[in-house]
Chains A and B, each alone.
Chain A
Amino acid sequence: MSISRRGVLAWPALAVLPALSKHAMAAETVRIGYIEALTGNAAAAGQSIKQAAELAVEIINTPHPDLAPLTLAGTAGLPNLGGAQVALTWADNQGSPAVAASDALRLITQDHVIAMCGAYQSSCTLTSSAVAERYGIPYLAGESAAANLTERGYKWFFRTTPYGPDFAKLYLDFLADVAKGGLATGRIAVVHENTDYGTSVADSMVSTAASRGIKIAQRIAYNANGTDVSPQVLELKKGNPDVIIFISYTSDSILYLKTMKTLDYRPPIVIGDDSGFSDPSFIKAVGPIAQGALNRSAFVPGKPDSITYKINALFKKRTGRDMDDTTARSMQGLFVLCDAINRAGSTKPEAIREALVKTDLPASQLLIGYKGVKFNAQGQNILAYSLMIQLQGESYVPVWPADQASAKLELPFKGWT
């Protein structure tokens, strides 16, 4: 413990005094660089992720037998490295791709990290992982969902999170199932913010739907920093779709719900694609008028004796908030990376990379609802998975598929009373 604490406290000085950093590395601390959106547009999400990752490090570094069989929870540190402690070095990408690349270089060459995680915005993940690729440092993306990240043929890049096409399949499967119950789901509207996140998920949605012979009825792109969404809501009201899928960040999600209430528009089915709808501030701000909103999530707190429940309790004790899908996905990414380092039994990047390639974690060792973790040749986790959750009261509850549901699906969308 004392080692890792000294490491953490000493790091700011290291950033400008590279000569000193060799002393810190003399200890057997395993240093991982984490690039995150700590300021800028996505700061709210980035800050939560930082808290979650710090909790993950605590779980890894100190024994938590009650959390077994979660990987590395039962032991102190990384057993195959003589119980070495894990320490994170944080860097802020400021929401800028160029800053993220600078961060990556600094983490690799100054802080001598042996592996990296990050970087929330797909654009920042893209530039920072390119630096890691050039230096031969393993890079694990637990959050970024843009499809092109794993299409680059990189050797050192791995992604645990599901991405665009996975989400599209989930929604279409869900809607097909709902349709069996008699509710119309044929006319789908996709409303998405127009930067890389919204555009790429919407593109996946359109192409996946097309492959099943479904035509997206309305597609509305908008600017997430906009000040007013009334025209979009009016357009939806006029188009009157059966289903609206919002691919939105937090601020715009809040505005949509407020405006829908003002204009008294209740579409039959409302799906929010994670980000904005999952943000705890969304629930706090507009939860009472968003009752019945659906969302995807790979994380569900579950029953009081489950691992997920206990981890959520630890997180809540630290932060006063519940975990959400985003924080859980990042945490899971970090666990997968540390597991690979442990299996490698070495801090050599090449050994870690080989261990990552061989990763084959069963669902029982995860804290998140993936069916497992196993990477394909592009580095994409092929067992990533999410389920559908619904806002009922003050929290989301799993409602689909039926075998994992803890509450009954309530349709149509109720909104407010």
Chain B
Amino acid sequence: MIIPLLLVLAPHAPHLPLWISLAWLGCALLRLHGAQTGRQPVGRVLKMLLTLAGVAGVLLQYGTLIGPAGGVALLAFLSGAKLLETPTPRDRLGLLFVGCFLLVAHFLDRQNLATAGYMAFAALALVAGMIATQSPASTAWRPPLALAARLMAQALPLALLIFLLFPRLQGTLWGLPQQVAAQTGLSDQMSPGDISQLILSDELAFRAEFSGAEPTPQQLYWRGPVLWDYDGHTWRTATPLRAAMPEATGNGQPLRYSLTLEPHRQRWLLLLGLPTRLPELPGNPTVLGADLQWRAREPINQRLRYGIEAYLDYQLEPALSPTLRARALALPVGGNPRARELAQSWLDHATNDTARDAAIVNQALTLFRAQPFFYTLNPPRLGESAVDDFLFTSRRGFCEHYASAFVFLMRAAGVPARVVTGYQGGERNPLGNYLIVRGRDAHAWAEVWLAGRGWLRVDPTAAVAPARVEHGVSAALPTAERPGNLATGAWLRPLGLGWDLINNQWNQWVIGYDPARQQQFLARLNPLLADWRSRVWALGLGATLLVVGVAAALWPRQTVIQSDPASREYQRFCRALARLGLPRGAAEAAEDYARRALARRPDLGNEIKRITRLYLASRYGPAGYQRGAAAADDSLRDLKNAVAAFRPGRRPAAKLGVSEPT
């Protein structure tokens, strides 16, 4: 009983206050000690005081006794305190039920495959504990565990059926708890060094699946936060743009893809291209800004899957409003004089008005390409004038340096520009035919606005390190700088991809099985199931069929086993006589049968009498009642020997001269 609880509680321990873990272990040890000495570990009053102290402690720590965190702590503590008394079978079951509750509580935090596997094992231990409760005297652990495994396996089909068909409800019954967890992935702002930190992370950002042809790597710019405002050090968006469908037109065929975003505890969402329509997220309204930045009202705390139809080729905001134009040209007052000077010189040398801005963009890209710029994760520290230092002194940097400097130059030269962050590229998983995008694919690029063409994507990093865009970050970095996880041996790769495939399926079919997915899946399975009422009917019917099926499979089959060895021997004797043409009547008593047989075959008289007597003695005699008694064994052995020796001839022995009566 202690072991299943321990299995369930151990993963909770890191989230519980230390004193609860220690108190629980202490109680368990006292219990074990008490079981050995056969005494109550502590007195009743002390136990009561301890329990009250524990409840008060939980109350002080969490301020509440209910809710996921406080409730788990309270139950964990009480389950320990309960160990202090000698439990009745019902108490034991109750404790194991608490274990079930604590087990399920894990899934509020973690839902990955490993957790589920571990918890399935813990559930097995709990069930085995319930079975063991039935036989308190027995200490064998193997039979309960084996039976528990059988029960769990038999229960699984029904569980899956209910899981698939049980109508999922949207929304919550009461408030979700405030979950405080570190944000991961891109943030809403960008300072030098932010993204290079992300690059080191192998953490999954999202997965994407394309229903048609997959775009080329150069097209895979997953758009995240769009940054407008620069203070000389950090890019951010102080006030997001108004929520409006951007003025944009798409060209060509729209691309369909679905994206499974890992929870990053922030509000931005990712887009590829210009969406034809925004998908609706359950319980979390979203807006799309005029700058094609998609934001949700609530942070993304759960893994999220959405499908989008989008144009990869589009024209965004051909006409720029004066306010936006001003914002796209704003620079901090002062600082970076050399960069401003350079930009001014481009502006001065530009001739044609319509192609001027495009020429300036090209000049900047040429600068990055022609000058000795290096793509590196370890740029030197930049001083007060970060852009000047980068452009003219260090010339070493990462995508955020390039994007930041590029946009600065553009604005200084009067070209409206902004920084866009997001992810670029991704690793294709050939096993599942989808794209895995990780932290290391984080990227920053720029957008410039050109008259008549709208906002255009310009990736200055691509000018410096084209391999970054085509082959990913590890190809672009100098060998020495590749993070360990990027440089892992090639032989591990298929393994990792297979594991990711399993995880992806798990996420989509188990964790991501939400009302929308259920609706989609069931409707595709059978249009009838699209309605929740028919779903309930199907659930009832399916469950009934399954239960009946399991019941039929389980039903104890009657076996024709002559459990009584004496009868078995006697049957053999009767068969031998039947072969002589003397079958035993259906309801003929053994003694009557013997008399009848004797009349027909007097030559066999002694044997028939002896076998009948031995049979009656061992079956109905006083010794026969005590199976295993020495007397019973003796008479049974005699019977066996006599039957074995009974080999009557077809005809009576001639020398006796007894004729068969007719």
A and B held together in a complex: no
A interface, CB within 8 angstroms of B:
none
